[in-house]
Amino acid sequence: MSQPTSSRWRTLDIVIASILAVAFGVVFWAWGFVWSATEAAFTFFPPAQAVIYGVWLLPAVLGGLVIRKPGAAVYCELLAALISALLGSQWGTVVIMQGLAQGLGAELAFLAVGYRSFRLPVATLAGALAGLAAAMFDQVRYYYAYDFATVRLPYLVITVISAALIAGMGGWALTRALAQTGVLDRFPAGRDRAAV
């Protein structure tokens, strides 16, 4: 729905964004075990493991869709990454910088529409841009020595697609589902039930 939104955060916005981020921080920590456990399933083509990457980008899109304020995508993704690091992420504190990059990627989509549209195409773009930021971070941090055509490029493409589908479309669907329950009634996302 196209509507102007105040850029000023309410206490309720901070509380809900923090709750979302902490919940996803725990999910991130657990998802690290899923990632490790599924590595063997992708030995035929390791970049294909990125099909499950989008889960790590959900709070950026969800935060942007629910809070609808500048900085919400970055706040949710960064705080979730910080929580996962505090819980003992297998990647250590590097996930904090990664969360910042991913959150900024998603934030660009909401910024591009002036924080006025929160429909499926914007959510999908937010997911894709978060995925692009994630893949670029990973290229520099983890995959710089691998062949571009056979590993790095496929990894980038699969990550972006996963992010668009899981974080973008999935985040939009999750926002709609939450809105239908009434828990978001104090947010524009809850009042826009038909157009979230």
The amino acid occupying position 160 is V
pLDDT tens digits along 21-32 = 999 999 999 999
Report the C-alpha gap between 49 and 32 in whole angstroms: 12
User: For residue 106, which of 59, 174, 49, 153 has the smallest C-alpha distance?
Assistant: 59
* Mean pLDDT, residues 119-142: 97
- pLDDT for residue 5: 56
Please report which confidence band the pLDDT of residue 1 belongs to, taking 50, 70 and 90 as the band edges: very low
- pLDDT for residue 125: 98
Q: Does domain 11-191 have CATH number 1.20.1070?
A: no
pLDDT tens digits along 98-127 = 999 999 999 999 999 999 999 999 999 999
Total count of residues recorded for the chain: 196
Domain boundaries, the chain: 11-191
Q: What is the 3-state secondary structure (H, E, C) of the chain?
A: CCCCCCCCCCHHHHHHHHHHHHHHHHHHHHHHHHHHHHHHHHCCCHHHHHHHHHHHHHHHHHHHHHHCCCCHHHHHHHHHHHHHHHCCCCCCCHHHHHHHHHHHHHHHHHHHCCCCCCCHHHHHHHHHHHHHHHHHHHHHHCCCCCCHHHHHHHHHHHHHHHHHHHHHHHHHHHHHHHHHHCCCCCCHHHHCCCCC
